[in-house]
């Protein structure tokens, strides 16, 4: 039987995974990565609308590379790492940008950064030590999309809507009476779903590590 040195079956998906580097999905991911410094430069120069457009474009095309990879059967090992890594870096860029312009409470920034650094570091550890990875689930993609939409709304900072007036604390925008961008509600929804999916990812990682250790012990 001939050996296929270029492809292997992806875990549980049946989709062939290649070792190719220069694929259309990978090029798209690389372009999205290059948009991050452009976003920061525009934001620091005071071009809020252009910065928001670049960020929204980079975040909004998140699904394109994955769809192309699956539909054209060009899923690659590099793409499986690059796509979620770019998502995490875009998330970090979004909260840092909002921190710089003072439109996001520090506790939200800490939660988002801690979650994304945990996922980045945990994914790198699993890959380097056990040669395994936890696949991104659909709910995780939805959480990321909600946060991206919310960050874009906060960067644009228009239109502003009245707060709900449920509580009188400055660190809960939208729930207090102060006017705030509509984007904050997408951020809250993304945070809740994001934390829930993090619990799943950690649980799945622990199970995979135990299985890998059991295989090593045999």
Q: What is the pTM of this model?
A: 0.82
Specify whether the CB–CB gap between 95 and 112 falls below 8 A. yes
Q: Which domains are present in the chain? A: 7-217 (1.20.120.1760)
- List pLDDT tens digits, range 34-65: 999 999 999 989 898 999 999 999 988 877 87
Please give the C-alpha separations between residue 172 and each of 99, 103, 108, 156, in angstroms, as whole numbers: 15, 12, 10, 19
Give me the average pLDDT of each 10-residue run along the chain (218 residues): 40 67 88 95 91 92 78 83 87 91 93 91 90 90 93 92 94 95 97 97 95 83
Q: Note the pLDDT of residue 3.
A: 41
Q: Note the pLDDT of residue 15.
A: 64
Q: Note the pLDDT of residue 120.
A: 87
């Amino acid at each position: 039987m001939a050996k296929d040195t270029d492809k292997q079956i992806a875990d549980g998906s049946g989709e062939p995974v290649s070792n190719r580097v220069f694929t259309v999905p990978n090029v798209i991911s690389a372009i999205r990565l290059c948009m991050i410094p452009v976003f920061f430069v525009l934001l620091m120069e005071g071009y809020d609308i252009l910065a928001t457009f670049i960020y929204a474009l980079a975040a909004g095309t998140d699904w394109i590379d994955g769809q192309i990879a699956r539909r054209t059967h060009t899923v690659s090992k590099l793409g499986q790492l690059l796509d979620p890594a770019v998502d995490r870096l875009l998330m970090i860029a979004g909260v840092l940008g909002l921190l710089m312009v003072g439109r996001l409470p520090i506790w939200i920034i800490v939660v988002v950064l801690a979650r994304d650094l945990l996922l980045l570091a945990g994914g790198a550890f699993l890959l380097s030590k056990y040669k395994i990875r936890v696949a991104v689930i659909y709910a995780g993609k939805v959480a990321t999309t909600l946060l991206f939409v919310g960050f874009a709304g906060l960067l644009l900072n228009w239109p502003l809507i009245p707060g709900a007036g449920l509580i009188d604390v400055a660190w809960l925008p939208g729930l207090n009476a102060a006017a705030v961008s509509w984007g904050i509600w997408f951020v809250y929804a993304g945070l809740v779903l994001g934390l829930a999916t993090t619990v799943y990812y950690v649980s799945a990682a622990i199970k995979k590590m135990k299985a890998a250790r059991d295989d090593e012990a045999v």
